[in-house]
Structure 1
Amino acid sequence: MANYGVIDLGSNSVRLVIFDVKDGISKKKPITCKDFRSIINDKVMAGLSAYVEAGEFTQEGIARAVGVLSGHLKRARYFNCVRTDIFATAVLRNCTNSRKAIRAIEEAIGAPVNLLSARDEAHLSFTGASCDRTIEKGTVVDLGGGSTELIRVEEGRDFDDVSIGQGSLSSYAGYVEFVMPQADEVEAIERAFLDQVAKTPVDLKKYRAETLYGVGGSARAAAKLYAQMTGESCRPKTLTPEHFDALLDLLENNPSKFAHLAARAVPERIHTVGPGCVILSTLMQKLDARKLEICKRGVREGYLIERMLGNAPCSRVKAQ
């Protein structure tokens, strides 16, 4: 067995996952979740998208990222990882000074930061989501803090992807005054998201599917919150439009109860779970979906499988 460290530098959280990988994995057959297990899953809610001002990632944001990454790298060394990789997504990909910000972070921590393109992020999310299940047809939805990625799946392969420039944390930062969004703020988040959808360069009709596959913390948070609301002992594996209607009705009619339930179910996401539910509900309506399957695994597992265990080259997008 060997340990591999993956650090996901996201818009909302910066997460270190230490994977314990079986010896003798063959590259001639697909790597599945049976070939590895996570032994450490350490998340810091850094809120890095809040450090983007006028399109630039600020010095304060760089300092915040450096502090969190340094701690994660120290923990990874404790586990004697044979390899530890850092990858970044929308928060650094979309800022106007990404090249400068990444260079400053790399110099401070003494390690490279791999900036994933939107296409790479989408593909790796599909790879991770499908390592414990067969996804033959549908749309994978990766709702992050700063963006929402859609991946079209046909005959077990991912083809098209689109990145919508709004996520759960950016929705909170842009449209919510206090902790819980009020009714008018919910409407503002939905309108803004639909405006972002309208700006996408592709026709979303080809992403319409009866089944969506939810990747990322926002989808899992919605399932945990629904379980808390209904008194279920385990989060549901699937959410429907009716489930989201119930959650959003509670948010609108009893925001205090919604907040208390969120504080118990997902305390680290208490401010973003509401906006996340709005976006997921809006997407289900837009894509005529009848169910959202909650995926346990995603981009970090996909990165491990393809970029580390598969020895695929770690492509870097051109930073600005």
Structure 2
Amino acid sequence: MNIGIIDIGSNTIRLNVYELNNKSFHLLFSKKENVGLISYVYKNNLSLEGITKLKNCLLRFKTTLEVLDIYIMDAFATASLRNLDNSKDVLSIISNSLNIQIEIISGTTEGELSFLGAMHQIQQPTGIYIDSGGASTEFVFYKNFKNLYTISLNIGSLNLFNKFVDKIIPTKEETLQIQKHIFKEIEKIKAPKEISIPSTLTVTGGNMRAIRSLLIHYGRLNQDEYTFSAKEIHELLLLLSENKTKTMRLFLKIKPDRVHTMFCGLLILDAITNYFSIQNIQICTNGVREGYLIQKYIGGQNENNTK
């Protein structure tokens, strides 16, 4: 059985198609569009232009699935739609025009599903897992692979960029403002006392994977490596701050669709590692989409086996 899962994020909308066989699944292909829905939000409402962008993207994804004779499709939205004042109107328009039902998941649920999807990749049995996206970052504190505490914070690479950055790469003053804001948000976390902060932080998200690509580009990480020293993030920030024009060209070469959000993603990761005195970082390739698939079609923790 083949299933299409559409993840409607604040920056990108992604379609993943999985082959599901009993309790195992395999990613057949992935397709994404950088719609940037958060850029079409005015006075906490998604504009008509934004709704049209969303509708057209979903129509293209639906057409792709129909061409492939795939008629099992689920769509969910995270911070891109859940905090809007007109979210019900947006859902109604999409449902009436495309017959696509979008499920809006809460920040807590997003963190829980992301943790579930990445669980088989996580190396540390006890620690912190984060999923950093365009509009929010979810934190999961877990022990023996059991989720004990989940919180969603309003720190995302795209909303930080929109709020603080005038051009593409933040100035020194803008960087300080971003860092101050991130630390203020992190202080809202009330971590369980039984969780001892690990030496390794596990992360996922598009910008987190883009950061790994930067490290590979600079020869600080091999193609088959997913764990590295947290010091690399701070050193990378210093290096990229030296020449903003050169940095922008590098971002365009590495991940052109994230040229405006990658630096803010680095600042988020750097702030988290500093706050929790993290020594190493592990990048996961799976996350909320796989967790959504597991919960709806497989069920249960630790039952997923990807091929």
Unaligned stretches of 5+ residues in structure 1: 26-30, 313-320
Deviation at 1:106, TM superposition (A): 2.0
Kept in 2, the 8 Å contact 1:149–1:162? The answer is yes
| Identical counterparts, % of pairs | 29
| Equivalent residue, structure 1, for 2:8 | 9
Farther-moved stretch of structure 1 (135-144 vs 206-215): 206-215
Deviations 1:54-88 (A, max 9, x none): 22222221111111111111111222225110000
Partner of 2:158: 169
Q: Deviations over 1:96-122 (max 9, x none)?
A: 222222222222221100111112111
- Change beyond 3 A, Cα 1:289–1:147: same
Number of aligned residues? 299
CA positional deviation for 1:233: 5.4
**Alpha-carbon distance between aligned partners in 1 of 2:53 and 2:71, rounded to the nearest angstrom:** 26
User: Aligned partners of 1:196 and 1:95: how far apart in 2?
Assistant: 20
Q: Which residue of 2 aligns with 1:153?
A: 142
Amino acid at match of 2:4: G
The residue aligned with 1:315 is none
Matched, 1:259 2:248: yes
Name the CA distance, whole Å, in 2 between partners of 1:255 and 1:311: 47
Matches within 5 A, 1:53-72: 53-72=42-61
1:298 maps to 287
What is the distance in 2 between the residues matched to 1:266 and 1:254?
A: 18
CA contact (8 A) 2:124 2:200 kept: no
Q: CA deviation at 1:134?
A: 5.2
User: 2:33 — aligned with what?
Assistant: 44
Give the aligned residue type for 2:203: G
Please list the CA deviations of residues 197-235 of structure 1 after superposition, one character each: whole Å capped at 9, or x if unmatched. 34x3x4247574322111111111111112112375527
1:78-89 maps to which residues of 2 (within 5 A)?
78-89=67-78
1:137 aligns with 2:126: yes
CA distance in 2, matches of 1:12, 1:289: 27
* Structure 2 counterpart of 1:210: 199
Q: What TM-score, normalized to structure 2?
A: 0.91
User: 1-side partners of 2:75 and 2:127: how far apart?
Assistant: 29
| Aligned partner letter, 1:4 | I
The residue type paired with residue 275 of structure 1 is C
Query: 2-side partners of 1:301 and 1:174: how far apart?
Result: 30
Q: Is the 8 A contact 1:126 1:298 kept in 2?
A: yes
Do structure 1's residue 227 and structure 2's residue 229 form an aligned pair?
no
Cα distance in 1 between the residues matched to 2:172 and 2:192:
29
2:89 alignment partner, one of 95, 100, 111 = 100
Identify which range, 183-192 or 225-234, moves more after superposition: 225-234
| 1:239 matched to 2:238 | no
Instruction: Give the letter aligned to residue 3 of structure 1.
Output: N
Q: Residues 62 and 43 of structure 1: is their aligned pair in 2 closer, same or farther, counting only changes over 3 Å? A: same
Residue 18 in structure 1 maps to residue 17 in structure 2 = yes
What corresponds to 1:318 in structure 2?
A: none
CA 211–185 in structure 1, closer or farther in 2 if over 3 Å, else same: same
**Greater Cα shift, 116-125 or 229-238:** 229-238
Aligned with 1:130: secondary structure?
A: helix
How far off is 1:165 after superposition?
Answer: 0.6
